[in-house]
Amino acid sequence: MDKTLKKKIAREILLLFGIFGLIILIAFGIWCYLLVINKQIIHRTSSINYDKGVLTEISNAYNSKFSKIKSFITILKTKEDEKWGSNYSLYLASKELKIDKAIKKYEDEQSFNGKLPNPKDTVSYIACIRQISTADKWSKYIVYTDDDILSVWNCLSTKMENLYYLLPMQVLEEFKIDNKTDLINLFHQYSFTKDELKSKTQKTELETKIKQLEQERSVLYYKVITRDDLLRMVKITFIIILIIAYPARLLFLTFKWAIKTYRQ
């Protein structure tokens, strides 16, 4: 075989292997890219799962206490709507009807339940219940927000000195409140501590963080190339290079050979 021909064949074989090597290099680069993307997805998924676990713990603790507060306010609202009497209203009724025995009973209880309130305290108590809105805010068709409920609760918390006398008696019975001390203990038990209020802020921050991580993960999913996609890309690239490169080279070599032959 002519040495020149051998060289040409060898060169073409080297070129073919060079193209094949280039395709392998491109495939390797894509594979490395996929590794990075998948690692980022795994990292974000792990962070999301961890934050969701922490969020669940915080939410359970917060929701457990909030549900007690909501139950208390809901029952209070119901009994107020039904016009159930309070210890103070019964005291005033006893005075009006001059029932000395009942009057003495309530006045004697001041030693451990605190001084009886006055009309101003009653107005202040009602203002707590009605403060979150006017008109028909307490309508059964209204859905109360957490802030609505907490707003009433926090307002009532400042009235604990007189609250035992002002609450509907059915509410006292419902929550087994026999005296002012029981009432204060209930408010201390149900009210959120500073740490629990901080956890509420942390809850909001975690929800925002999880949402952001999920959005980032969704974007990364769009960047993922499956193994089948990768193989398909390699095949298509190889075919395109062969189709484009070899006919072009064949035309070039033919043209070159024709010129050489013409000159000879």
pTM: 0.60
- Does residue 226 have a pLDDT over 70? no
- Does residue 262 have a pLDDT over 70? no
pLDDT of 203 reads 83
- Does residue 137 have a pLDDT over 70? no
Q: Which residue has the higher pLDDT, 1 or 240?
A: 240
pLDDT of 187 reads 92
pLDDT-based confidence at residue 135 (cuts at 50, 70, 90): very low
Q: Which residue has the higher pLDDT, 128 or 18?
A: 128
pLDDT by residue (tens digit) across 176-209?
Answer: 999 999 999 999 999 888 877 777 778 888 889 9
Nearest in space to 226 (alpha carbons), one of 78, 64, 37, 11 = 37
pLDDT of 134 reads 46
Range ranked top by mean pLDDT from 1-15, 24-38, 149-163: 149-163
**Percent of the chain topping pLDDT 90:** 13
- Does residue 133 have a pLDDT over 60? no
Average pLDDT over the chain reads: 79
Over range 113-129, report the average pLDDT.
Answer: 84
pLDDT of 186 reads 93
pLDDT-based confidence at residue 225 (cuts at 50, 70, 90): low
pLDDT by residue (tens digit) across 42-84?
Answer: 899 999 999 988 888 888 888 888 999 999 988 888 887 777 8
pLDDT of 185 reads 93
Nearest in space to 224 (alpha carbons), one of 44, 16, 7 = 44
Over range 105-119, report the average pLDDT.
Answer: 85
Three state DSSP letters for the chain: CCHHHHHHHHHHHHHHHHHHHHHHHHHHHHHHHHHHHHHHHHHHHHHHHHHHHHHHHHHHHHHHHHHHHHHHHHHHHHHHHCCCCEHHHHHHHHHHHCCHHHHHHHHHCHHHHCCCCCHHHHHHHHHHHHCCCCCCCCCCCCCCCHHHHHHHHHHHHCCHHHHHHHCEHHHHHHCCCCCHHHHHHHHHHHCCCHHHHHHHHHHHHHHHHHHHHHHHHHHHHHHCCCHHHHHHHHHHHHHHHHHHHHHHHHHHHHHHHHHHHHHC
